[in-house]
Amino acid sequence: MAALLAASLLWAFSFGLIKGELAGLSPVAVAAGRLAIAALVFLPLAGRGVRPGRARLEAAALGAVQFGLMYVLYVASFRWLAAWVVALLTIFTPLFVVLLAEGPGGRLRWRSLAAVLLAIGGAALVAARGGEGGATWPGVVLLQGSNLCFAIGQVRYGALRRRWASPDAGLVAWMYAGAAVVTAAALPLAPVFGTPAFAGWTARPLLVLLYLGLLPTALGFWLWNRGAARVPAGFLAAANNLKVPLAVVVSWLVFHEKAADVRGLAGLALLAGALVLAGRGGHVPLEKEPPVA
């Protein structure tokens, strides 16, 4: 739980920074830059406990989906959505998580589904009735694609970790490498999203990109996947919305966006109830721990 909370706190500031400093730049370049920085940070750990061959390929492929494709779709959505709206619409990630984790095998538990609905309600309450900006359908579709990619990675990471008995740092290093390759290969497609890859970059957005690559990306996703492999599916699903009330409040207070009425306490109360509900009942984690640290 501590790892999931720490990652959520790191991510809470990303929404406003991207909207305020990077929204006019190429989303493909932003995604590629963040992931290249993360890959370089974790490069010294790439050989730690991860077997050559298929294990590394599987990790790279999963990273290409969870981090690479997710980031391109996520940053692209800011062209049509205000930062607080992006934060709000990520509330549907828990639904994807619990359906992917428990649905295919007929193991969907009422407790998990109830926790997801509580988490969605709590997050929605924070930003109900909206503010400036609003949403248009291209942004909504892009963001839900991003949510699905992130959910797939969370659910499959535990299985990958168990199958290859590999430590988190080594696997995540290869995931970042795969994500960086995919987003770099997508750079020629940058004009499709409206902005050439290298247009408009100055010192200030480069510094913001460096911060995003080092902390919310490199550290944040390592912490998140590490925590995701150690909690039940329902708890993980609910925890996906920890960042939402935090991000909405940060966007409102720090970045001075006009968001919704102040309903943070009520939203957080519902979210806390979702986490308690999801954590009860003795559910096992998504995957058993591998015999490595």
Query: Of the ranges 34-43, 136-145, 172-181, which one carries the lowest mean pLDDT score?
Result: 136-145
Is residue 179 in some structural domain? yes
- Identify the pLDDT of residue 214: 95
**Using an 8 Å Cβ cutoff, are 173 and 43 in contact?**
yes
What total of structural domains would you count in the chain?
Answer: 1
Is residue 284 in some structural domain? no
Is residue 147 in some structural domain? yes
Q: Is 280 helix (H, G, I), strand (E, B) or coil?
A: coil
**pLDDT higher than 50, residue 292:** no
| pLDDT top residue among 279 and 169 | 169
Is residue 286 in some structural domain? no
Q: What is the pTM of this model?
A: 0.78
Range of the domain at 15: 2-279
Is residue 292 in some structural domain? no
**pLDDT higher than 80, residue 28:** yes
